[in-house]
Amino acid sequence: MAKDRNAQLRNLIAGYSDSILLSDAKAMIAVLFVAIMMGTVIQFRPLYPWYLPLPALVIPFALIFLNLLASVFPRYPRSGRKRFPLWRKPHPDAFDFLADAQAEEETLAERCALLSRILWWKNVTLRAAYLLSMACLAAAAILLFAARP
């Protein structure tokens, strides 16, 4: 029973790790496109109506950009790690690999929960960036086309 539970936890950890990598790739591609679109919007600033100042044009892009960067930002806390050296002048012995199968099996559930939490926050920030970008597109359409004199 314990080996079956450990195998299930390892499969979950592998799935969470793959999903985290995929969401990071999505966020990085989206950051690239947001940067390109923001440059284009700023370039055509003289052609926009008088009631759209530059900060009103750039703030949605900045908010989307911050959400995407928050999605990519790693959130690996130090809790649960027995050995995670953070010193100014580390010694080479601090990085010796000590294989302890028993300790690894004890921390499987904790790692699974940690990766699940990271993936949840990544999905929340990606979804927030997506919804914000769709709302900004709708607002831009209303401001540019419906509010013409």
Quote the percentage of the chain above a pLDDT of 70: 80
In one-letter notation, the amino acid at residue 102 is Q
| Identity of the residue numbered 145 | F
| pLDDT category of residue 131 using cuts at 50, 70 and 90 | very high
| Residue 86: predicted pLDDT | 65
- Predicted TM-score (pTM) of the model is 0.69
Both tokens of 4, joined, read 């079956």
In terms of Cβ atoms closer than 10 Å to its own Cβ (0-12, 13-18, 19+), residue 87 is exposed
Whole-angstrom distance, CA of residue 12 vs CA of residue 20? 12
